[in-house]
Amino acid sequence: MLSPADRAPEFTLPNHEGREVSLTSLLRRGALILYFYPADFTPGCTREACSFRDLHTEIQKVGLTVAGVSPQDADSHRRFRDQHHLPFTLLSDTDKSVIRMYDVDGPLGFGVRRATFLIDQSRNIRDAVLADFRIGAHDAFVSRAIALVGA
């Protein structure tokens, strides 16, 4: 997994609407919380996404943007966003190329590790957490990110 002080690799992936979105475009408005998750509609991933949704107003107040990445296609992401009223971008990494760039591929290439990065506008990783089954660790990470960026 990439660490704080590493430079975040540039990428371009389709979003939930099928439109291409780059890391650079996500960073235009400010720092980014980029999170990787295994799959749409699973209990843990749904809980995590809804947590980001519930904190979204606080996240936006300090100028942060949120984007999630998983291997499902744009149609799955669109349905997942609609069903859970998610106000942020979901990106489709069907070949897991970005997942591998950020070194969050699962053991032996199966699945995706649950990881979250805080990336500044210069593409530097300022903080990161790998929490796999500890979804609450992501809530604490978001609180730290809000405090760090809002300071």
Q: How many CA atoms lie within 13 A of 151 on its CB side?
A: 5
Residue 2 lies in a domain: no
Contact 46, 68 (CB under 8 A): no
At 123 the pLDDT is 97
16 in a structural domain: yes
- pLDDT tens-digit map of 29-46: 999 999 999 999 999 899
Does residue 139 lie within any of the structural domains? yes
Alpha-carbon dihedral of residues 51, 103, 15, 145, nearest 10 degrees?
40
Q: Is the pLDDT of residue 56 over 80?
A: yes
Domain count, the chain: 1
42-71 mean pLDDT: 94
CATH number at residue 47: 3.40.30.10
CA distance 21 to 108: 28
DSSP string, 77-116: HHHHHHHHT--SEEEE-TT-HHHHHTT-BPGGG-SB--EE
Asked if the structure places residue 117 within a domain, the reply is yes
Average of per-residue pLDDT across 62-78 = 97
Check whether 103 has a pLDDT greater than 80: yes
- The reported pTM is 0.94
Cβ–Cβ under 8 Å, residues 105 and 25:
no
Asked if residue 3 is part of any domain, the answer here is no
> pLDDT grade, residue 151 (50/70/90)?
low
Residue 35 lies in a domain: yes
Is 50 considered catalytic here? no
Q: How many CA atoms lie within 13 A of 3 on its CB side?
A: 0
- 132 falls within a domain: yes
What is the per-residue pLDDT across 119-137, written as a single tens digit (0 to 9) for each?
A: 999 999 999 999 876 777 7
- Containing structural domain, residue 46: 12-150
Percent of the chain with pLDDT strictly greater than 70 = 97
4 is a domain residue:
no
Selecting among 33, 34, 45, 49, the annotated active-site residue is: 45
